[in-house]
A and B are shown apart, each in its own frame.
Chain A
Amino acid sequence: MLEVFSYEFIQNAVIAGILVSLISGIIGSLIVVNRMVFLAGGIAHAAYGGIGIAIFAGIPIFLGTTVFAVFAALIMAFVTIRERENIDTFIGLIWAVGMAIGIILVDLTPGYNVDLMSYLFGSILAVTREDIYFMSALFVVIIFVMTFWYRDILAVSYDSEYAALSGINVKFFYTLILILSALTVVIAIKVVGLILVIALLTIPIYIAQNLSSSLYSMMLISGFTASLFTIMGLWLSYNFDLTSGACIILVSALSLMLFMIVQKIK
């Protein structure tokens, strides 16, 4: 059983899976308590535009996707702060336009035949060392942000009106949360793909929310649960030769069902 870990791609997959799970646990908690799930979904899909740009311009995919996703997050922040009444419409718009840009640009790229499916559903077994460095860097940044601004982020997330009154720059932290969500989405695309990102950012978080009495513990429990699901999903994927992202999501969903049944019985 353990000899599978001698393959480098398996090692990379496991490390990446755990890193992405921990990050998703932290940022997913923020997304859920701020009711930004639809927003995060919009960013995830719009990020496909970045993949298209990167392929078309011949720049590294991670770079193109990161820049474009952050750009999409900034537009989302701007629009949702300004156009409170039409938030849904604008999110849907950015969601679709981002994807359309990506598809057109891939069409226009001569001789391009990379598997679109790997971006939609993830390709964790193709994770490289560079990907892992990027993920680790993001993890460090997120830990740093959450350590120093925990109270501000907590205040903004719980009661933004009161936070604004007590002198916290609500717009700054709101935008910061969206940018971190965009970066999380970019790395999660590698593991579960952009279609399934939302599941990773919500299922473990839902379980954690019911088990925790503080945002801090919710983040820890989410990260731990997500790691567990990812490892189990990877194991299934490896043993039965199935798409890894879909395995991770189904393991998560089944666990969620189990969790809800247990809660009902209690």
Chain B
Amino acid sequence: MQTKFNLRVIEIENLSFAYDKEFVLENINLIVDNRDFLVLIGPNGGGKSTLVKLILGINPIQSGSIKILNKPLHKSLTQIGYVPQNTNVNTNFPIKAIEVVMMGHHAHKRAIFGYKKEEIEHAMHVLRQVGMEEFADKKIGSLSGGQRQRVMIARALCANPKILLLDEPTSSIDADGQKQIYELLKELNKKITVIVVSHDLSVVLQYATKVAHINKKLAFHDLSSIKKEFDTGNDSHVCEVELLQMLGKCKC
């Protein structure tokens, strides 16, 4: 239970957000501890993406507060590595995997033109972490969906973030690729906090330590105790029925 004494990486208090006059998020409270593996689930239009945009500072905070690593939001943006939802756009774009990764470097550390040697070395290091180093010089469009997603994760890791935030990371990837992505996230989770927005309950629940269900309001579940009862071994997946039983025990 050492994590409980660790730094709170994200602290959201009484957060509400409305487009026009309609509330999308109401009174959200959420605490993410260091090295949590948090999964945000919920129906389409339930406010998951809005919450992500608030955490990233894309949407302005209307009421309530978000603290990242104990600091108000706008100072901490560089602490979050972000993997956007749709990575299949622009696949015909002439760009190498390593160039995509290097977009993740901090702007102020950049060379005046071209790429610095350290930048290239660091990008290669990050690509190695996600198991994509041999594809560094490949055109991004020639990679498979799963490989491309790894490159996007590498881009997010490039600035050495404390938090990795992924929006629907496996929505367009085949089952094998999905498992590989989650295994990778599990590995990364040994060092950093991982937050995944997902529809895919059955896969995600094998990896999550905490789940937050968002449908305008937020319901929070700590899975670290429940999960043991439903440990189904490595290769099988938690089926949706078991899942409902698991979550059905909660008060919400």
Contact = CB atoms under 8 A, between A and B. Distances in A.
Interface of A: 33, 147-148, 150-151, 154-155, 157-159, 161-168, 209, 212-215, 217-218
A214 B84 contact: no
Given A165-B58, A166-B104, A167-B107, A218 B82 contact: no
B84 A33 contact: no
Among all A-B residue pairs, the 6 with the closest Cβ atoms: A213-B139, A218-B94, A212-B94, A155-B103, A167-B107, A147-B113
Contacts of A213: 94-96, 137-139
B84 A215 contact: no
Contacts of B92: 209
Nearest to A146: B113
Nearest to B98: A214
B112 interface: yes
Given A151-B110, A167-B107, A213-B137, A161 B94 contact: no
Nearest to B82: A165
Contact of B99 (A154, A167, A218): A154
Interface string B83-106: 010000110111110011011100
Which of B77, B84, B103, B104: most chain A CB closer than 10 A? Answer: B103
22 contacts: A33-B90, A33-B93, A151-B115, A154-B95, A155-B103, A158-B95, A158-B103, A159-B90, A162-B84, A162-B103, A163-B103, A166-B107, A167-B107, A168-B107, A209-B92, A213-B96, A213-B137, A214-B96, A214-B99, A215-B93, A217-B94, A218-B94
B56 interface: yes
Given A159-B103, A162-B103, 13 more contacts: A150-B113, A151-B115, A154-B99, A158-B95, A159-B90, A161-B84, A162-B82, A167-B107, A212-B94, A213-B139, A214-B94, A214-B96, A215-B94
Contacts of A168: 107
A33 B94 contact: yes
Interface of B: 56, 58, 77, 82, 84, 89-90, 92-96, 99-100, 102-104, 107, 110, 112-115, 137-139, 155
B94 A165 contact: no
Given A148-B113, A165-B56, A168-B107, A158 B138 contact: no
A147 B58 CA distance: 29
B90 A158 contact: yes
Which of B58, B94, B99, B138: most chain A CB closer than 10 A? Answer: B94
A162 B56 CA distance: 11
Nearest to B104: A166
A218 B103 CA distance: 19
Contacts of A161: 84
B100 to A, nearest CB: 7
A195 to B, nearest CB: 27
Nearest to A209: B94
Contacts of B90: 33, 158-159
Contacts of B77: 165
Contacts of B96: 213-214
A215 B114 CA distance: 13
A162 B86 CA distance: 11
A157 B82 CA distance: 18
A166 B57 CA distance: 11
A38 B74 CA distance: 37
Nearest to B138: A213
Nearest to A212: B94
Contacts of A218: 94
A162 B82 CA distance: 8
Contact of A148 (B95, B112, B155): B112
B163 to A, nearest CB: 14
Contacts of B102: 151
Nearest to B103: A155
Nearest to B102: A151
A173 to B, nearest CB: 13
Contacts of A165: 56, 58, 77, 82
A166 B155 CA distance: 11
Contacts of B103: 151, 154-155, 158-159, 162-163, 166
Contacts of A155: 103
A226 B149 CA distance: 35
A158 B103 CA distance: 10
